[in-house]
């Protein structure tokens, strides 16, 4: 019989993931023990995807309109488009690898940031990788985590992980600000602000569930 380390329960049948928490099961299962019928998992994609497409179009149009009214040397609407593309790519990868959402998001932010820094360095180091790409990647990661939690109906255990991730995403842009490594500071300020607000929202509205989960996991 298979066993779930997170729920501390034995699972009959030949399953790969726990039906309660979706963690990987240990032990060996038997086909004849399967008593739970296979129920296909479905997500309410249509409305969420339509809203996201509409918001993406609105943001792109608004960025080009603002740039046309208040032109600057930096073509920042292209960074907005790149950020939106990152949102869609990240969301698609997270949903595909939904059994390990936090790890997938961390790897994406790390790879995008490292590639941007290398590209910036090889082209003469203008500083756009730290000014724009990294804070945008942090904000995108927080957006993807929130949407993934809602779409995939993730539990309290994952909220705890999200709190830690939000803290990491908020601290790193602060380091660049304190070290005076940025020429354009408002993207990093926005990233830090979004991280603090996200962390505050989770703590305020999910604190009871998080505390119960911590007591259960720490055997308090």
pLDDT band at 33 (very low <50, low <70, confident <90, very high): very low
CA distance linking residue 200 with residue 1, whole number of Å? 42
Condensed to tens digits (0 to 9), the pLDDT of residues 98-141 reads 666 667 777 778 778 887 888 788 778 888 888 988 888 888 88
> Which residue would you say has higher pLDDT here, 99 or 48?
48
pLDDT band at 34 (very low <50, low <70, confident <90, very high): very low
The closest of 186, 205, 183, 204 to 194, measured between CA atoms, is: 186
Q: How would you label 135-171 residue by residue, b for 16+ Cβ within 10 Å and e otherwise?
A: bbbbbbbbbbbebbbebbebebbbbbebeebbeebbe
Asked whether residue 40 carries a pLDDT value surpassing 60, the answer given is no
The DSSP secondary-structure symbol of 4 reads E
Task: Answer yes or no: are the C-beta atoms of 93 and 111 closer than 8 Å.
Answer: no
Q: Where are the domains of the chain?
A: 1-40, 45-218
Q: Which of 7-11, 163-167, 187-191, 212-216 has the highest mean pLDDT?
A: 187-191
pLDDT band at 54 (very low <50, low <70, confident <90, very high): very high
SS3 135: helix
**Please, which residues bridge with residue 11 across strands?**
2
Per-residue pLDDT, 41: 46
pLDDT band at 64 (very low <50, low <70, confident <90, very high): very high
Written as six digits, the tokens of 91 are 């969301």
Q: In whole numbers, what is the pLDDT of the chain averaged over residues? A: 76
CA distance linking residue 145 with residue 170, whole number of Å? 14
Mean pLDDT for 50-68 is 91
Cβ neighbourhood burial of 215 (10 Å; 0-12, 13-18, 19+): exposed
């Amino acid at each position: 019989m298979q066993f779930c380390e997170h729920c501390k329960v034995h699972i009959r049948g030949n399953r790969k993931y726990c039906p309660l928490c979706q963690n990987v099961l240990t032990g060996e299962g038997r086909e004849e023990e399967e008593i739970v019928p296979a129920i296909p998992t479905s997500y309410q994609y249509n409305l969420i995807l339509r809203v996201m497409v509409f918001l993406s179009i609105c943001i792109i149009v608004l960025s080009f309109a603002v740039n046309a009214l208040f032109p600057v040397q930096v073509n920042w609407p292209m960074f907005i488009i790149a950020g939106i593309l990152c949102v869609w790519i990240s969301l698609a990868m997270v949903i595909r690898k939904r059994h390990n959402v936090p790890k997938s998001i961390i790897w994406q932010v790390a790879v995008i940031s490292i590639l941007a820094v290398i590209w910036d360095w090889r082209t003469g180091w203008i500083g756009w990788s730290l000014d724009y790409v990294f804070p945008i990647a942090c904000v995108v990661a927080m957006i993807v985590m929130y949407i993934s939690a809602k779409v995939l109906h993730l539990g309290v255990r994952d909220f705890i992980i999200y709190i830690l991730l939000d803290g990491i995403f908020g601290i790193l842009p602060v380091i660049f600000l304190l070290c005076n490594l940025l020429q354009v500071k408002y993207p990093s300020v926005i990233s830090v602000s979004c991280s603090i607000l996200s962390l505050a929202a989770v703590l305020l509205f999910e604190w009871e569930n998080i505390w119960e989960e911590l007591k259960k996991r720490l055997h308090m």
